[in-house]
Amino acid sequence: MQQAVEHKISNLIKDTVETLGFDLVKVSIQGATSNVLEILIDRLDNTKVSIADCRTVSKNISAVLDVEDVISDKYYLHVASCGVERPLVKFEDYQRFLNHDIKVKLKEPVEGRSKYKGVIFKAENNDIEIILEDKKIISTPFDNIKGANLVLTDEMFRKLLNKSDQENSNT
């Protein structure tokens, strides 16, 4: 039931979030008594998500959520950046992040394992191919993926440091 509500919320707010220039990464409801509706976003222009961005998205989607009244109980809306090690939720995420390092958990094991770390090699026809550290390639249907996220690599860390240095020198 919770997944159905998350899916309905996602469908309700997706267009608003995208119109504002963001990718709706994930919608999740957490907590037993004090529900927290967590919305993870990323910028479509690949720049950093700011606190002001989160406020803007929160303000715009809270109006939609209030009108639609999807969650009948009291809840807290939390809009946040998906972070550097962002979850990969949609098939398009795998296409967008080709050649990036990921960790993946599978529903059904592939070659005897259900957890892998590697680089996204290909994302086509609903199949994901990952190059492992030993250069072996595994393939799995997208529907077999239980969860996956990007992995912070030294290269990504250096890029973040360089962006931060550039931003600081511009102020």
Q: What is the pLDDT of residue 70?
A: 83
pLDDT tens string 87-103 = 999 999 999 999 999 99
What's this model's pTM, rounded to 2 decimal places?
A: 0.80
Distance CA(75)–CA(127), nearest Å, equals 37
Q: What is the CATH number of domain 91-153?
A: 2.30.30.180
Q: Are 130 and 137 in contact (CB under 8 A)?
A: yes
Q: Are 80 and 118 in contact (CB under 8 A)?
A: no
- Reading the block at residue 2, the tokens are 């919770």
pLDDT tens string 15-40 = 999 999 999 999 998 877 668 999 99
Distance CA(158)–CA(58), nearest Å, equals 31
Q: What is the CATH number of domain 2-81?
A: 3.30.300.70
Distance CA(132)–CA(134), nearest Å, equals 5
Nearest to 58 by CA among 84, 24, 8: 24
- What residues does each domain of the chain span? 2-81, 91-153
